[in-house]
Structure 1
């Protein structure tokens, strides 16, 4: 029996059945996510933020004071991942955390004045990313819609799998 070449594997099963790394949707998404995060890095370095910290601030700038639970949900992260991010942002003087007056179990997060000031400087980041990547607004809108659809389908598939 001869050796199966990558092309033989692709011919027999198509890309959907291929075990080649470059044929994997998950790897294409992973590589794209890493590349996009790397493109953000110099823009965020100017603000003294990491990418996850930037995402936290985006939620707070959009929604104002938010519970940690709502923040974690918006970012699709668990509490254990959000908590250290908030501690670092609080230590940097960009956010404040306090217990909710009506529910001691709930912790509310809001930007400080310094965190709000950063918003103005951050406003240039989306446009700068488009310039750096050469993507147009229509390209970004199409990609965002396709990725949201993929996320919804993958979440539904994971939920079905957990239910069985």
Structure 2
């Protein structure tokens, strides 16, 4: 809670004093309960596709001048303590970028919901058209690319 005490932070540029309730979950310097915790130093060197896409989205947004890397940091540092602790690196990036795009009006909350799969539609409540194991006929398509469909036999 707010105690009225401020932490002096001086980087040599005359930075203002930051009150403790504004420091955020990212500010872990001096937290004694963390001293005995192990640090995960395992680096597999491989990113999942969604992580690569998240990174690429940041590069695109910064390159187009839609946002700055500093704004990404502000967004990540503004996450709630539970989210900051539980979410992974690129999950935090994604949340921060989405929040920034919503804040800037790049897309609306409704467009964001639709991009994530949207709210449930009436079709979502309809019973399935087919049962497991039922034989179905798939219409022939003439694709423009050589895309194989091993799941259709």
Please say whether Structure 1 and Structure 2 have the same fold, judged by a TM-score greater than 0.5. no
**Which of 1 and 2 has greater Rg?**
2
Task: With a CA cutoff of 8 Å and minimum separation of 6, indicate the structure with the bigger relative contact order.
Answer: 1
Pick the structure with more helix per residue.
Answer: 1
Query: Which one has the bigger strand percentage?
Result: 1
**TM-score, normalised on structure 2?**
0.23
